[in-house]
Structure 1
């Protein structure tokens, strides 16, 4: 009987490639969570300096005080992603609030008041978008600066320079109501954030926004409706300013031409702190909210520690400068670690 002398299969079995993340990948993950880590650090410092800060009542105050900035920041993010800017949102809040108050005085109809405020915001946004696109202006700074002045003047003229008291009960509930220590406005912010997150990640329109901001000329060559995208983004920014007007008016039960002063700067600062780039094509809804809450936490902490009101804007300005500089450093490190990860893979 012949015995087979064929050796068994001795082919070397290669081990499956390691799925462990390399240290450049870990570094990239840490860099991308930079805004969140900054917020956690600010909360920790505030909680250490003031024992009142981490109480549920005060956290509810922070959420309520930050709601308007957060709403504006969500929409401002989309504008900045397209390499734009909207300076008119603060004045739009004032104009929408005044229009809502005057509508309530005239007809006392909740649906009409809400529609009037939302419609006012949307109208200003459409003026910004169409003025930029059809007017072929070199930069949105110009048209939004103009509408800032026009909206502010209209608010003063319509209101006679005075606040008008009274808002529907539902508007007051949205702006000033709460479930326990959680304000209704926080739920509104969460709903708007989830809606915009869905639009930017699951809808083609969202991909168009980032494409237009990342490479406008390339977007045109790819048959993306750049003009339509820009108009829609500014219209959405105006609409969100109308929503912010509802929150502000409801909280104060009034419509005033002084509402929303410098709110546009807070919104822009929140988006920048969150890591969005004025060069376009970069930024996330979550990080924009992080930036908004960072501003709210810092302001609340300074109030609890009785920091002079004249010093507070200086502190906020320094925070913005530091955040922008950190964003520059973060971008450089991210590029370096991406190259290192590509070499190791």
Structure 2
């Protein structure tokens, strides 16, 4: 009888121990899942990519290399900030790269061929970018043209103008003070990196703390409901396209200072990278979701991938393939973290 009781006690203890083990295992698993879900998909992807490249290359995880990454993607990042705003309201801007080219070419053309003071020609170049953005906004709102079609048309027109004003040739010989900006450092930090971060902070503040900025989410979610709520949707949308054009022109200035020249095709090849940055950052092409933090993380993912593959001597022909795979993985991680 005592043996039977003893066996029963051991059996009960074993079951209780196994239950505690299963409970502990479930708790740890759930904790890991909750932590993973708490980290945004793009940020998780960035961490994983950095870990991989840090293991593969001893030159990756250095301060100098990280500064290089920011410098290499500064103009793409500034264009992406404007493109993210456009996508947030449910639009699309295919002209950002062409706006960069035409604003920079007009700036250089006025300075070289007409003797316009460079400071003034720079302001005119920025104005050209804002004007193209205004045209995009008017065509897609008051003109009731699909943003894809409207910005495709302005992209073609801007590309043609950039080639026409200088017969397709580059313009060189900018003032020394301008080109020196590309190498200027403030407390060891490149000026273009400071400008990039400042743009994102300003846009993020506007999106999160200003009524018109918050209105972008309402318009992207449901434009008709936003209009019935008293938001002047047309005015806001035009303003967003103007901001996107102005930021593209600003990106052109950074690129021109770095290269000490203006090329009529500069920036045009960056369109896909700009859209990829926004999409990797978690923004929905349908509008209504996204933000500057996600876009900035998407920018870093693109920059780290390009830099890391260059350090590993990966063929430039294979780099777009790797970036394409990274886009898919980042989006999948983001979707998973939302469930």
| TM-score bin, normalised by smaller chain | 0.7 to 0.9
Within the alignment, does 1:274 sit opposite 2:281 as a pair? yes
Q: What is the TM-score normalised by the length of structure 1?
A: 0.85
Q: Of the candidates 124, 129, 140, which is equivalent to residue 116 of structure 1? A: 124
The residue matched to 1:87 in structure 2 has which SS?
A: coil
Deviation at 1:149, TM superposition (A): 0.7
Secondary structure of 1:79's partner? helix
Q: State which of 294, 319, 324 in structure 2 corresponds to 1:287.
A: 294
1:199 Cα deviation (Å)? 0.7
Deviates more, 1:286-295 or 1:41-50: 41-50
Aligned-residue Cα RMSD (Å) equals 2.0
Are 2:265 and 1:229 aligned?
A: no
- When the two structures are superposed, what TM-score results if normalisation uses the length of structure 2? 0.86
The residue number in structure 2 matching 1:91 is 98
The answer on whether the counterparts of 1:167 and 1:253 sit within 8 Å (CA) in structure 2 is: yes
- Taking structure 1 as reference, are residues 170 and 203 closer, same or farther at Cα in structure 2, changes over 3 Å only? farther
Shift of 1:170: 4.2
1:195 to 186, 202, 215: 202
CA deviation vs aligned residue, 1:69-89 (integer Å, no higher than 9, x gap): 111111111111101111100
Which ranges in structure 1 are unaligned for 5 or more consecutive residues? 1-22, 334-345
Superposition deviation, residue 182 in structure 1: 2.6
1:176/1:163 Cα in 2 relative to 1: closer, same or farther (>3 Å)? Answer: farther
Q: Which residue of 1 aligns with 2:249?
A: 242
Residues 180 and 195 from structure 1, CA distance in 2 versus in 1: closer, same or farther, beyond 3 angstroms? Answer: closer
Residue-by-residue CA offset, 1:112-148 (whole Å, 9 max, x unaligned): 13202211111110110011112111x2111111111
Q: Is the 8 A contact 1:173 1:184 kept in 2?
A: no
1:130 aligns with 2:138: yes
1:35 is aligned, of 42, 56, 77, to: 42
What is the aligned partner in structure 1 of residue 26 from structure 2?
none
Partner residue, 2:107? 100
C-alpha displacement of 1:321: 2.3
Partner of 2:258: 251
The residue aligned with 1:71 is 78
Give the number of aligned pairs: 309
